Amino acid sequence: MKRRSMIHVLLLCALLLFSLGSAATYAQPQEEKPRERQIENAMLQQLYPVIRSSLQEIYSEAYPSFGCERIISINERVTMAEDSQHASPVDAMHGATYFEITVGLCKGSGEKIELRLKNDTPTAQYYVDVFHVR
pLDDT confidence of residue 123: 86
pLDDT confidence of residue 78: 85
Query: Do 94 and 86 touch, CB atoms closer than 8 A?
Result: yes
Per-residue pLDDT of the chain (134 residues; tens, 9 = 90+): 555 555 555 554 454 445 444 444 434 455 668 999 999 999 999 999 999 999 999 999 999 999 999 999 999 988 766 555 555 444 555 568 899 999 999 998 889 999 999 998 888 899 999 999 98
pLDDT confidence of residue 4: 58
Q: How many residues are present in the chain?
A: 134
pLDDT confidence of residue 106: 94
Q: CB 73: neighbour CB atoms within 10 A? A: 11
> What is the rounded distance in angstroms from the CA atom of residue 119 to the CA atom of residue 126?
4
pLDDT confidence of residue 120: 87
Query: Do 17 and 24 touch, CB atoms closer than 8 A?
Result: no
Closest listed residue to residue 132, CA positions, set 118, 108, 112, 106: 112
pLDDT confidence of residue 22: 41
Classified as helix, coil or strand, 36 is helix
Query: Do 114 and 103 touch, CB atoms closer than 8 A?
Result: yes
- Half-sphere exposure of residue 65: CA atoms within 13 angstroms, side-chain side: 3
> What is the rounded distance in angstroms from the CA atom of residue 85 to the CA atom of residue 61?
43
Contacts of 113 by beta carbon, 8 Å cutoff, 6+ apart: 55, 58, 66, 104, 105, 106, 107, 131, 132, 133, 134
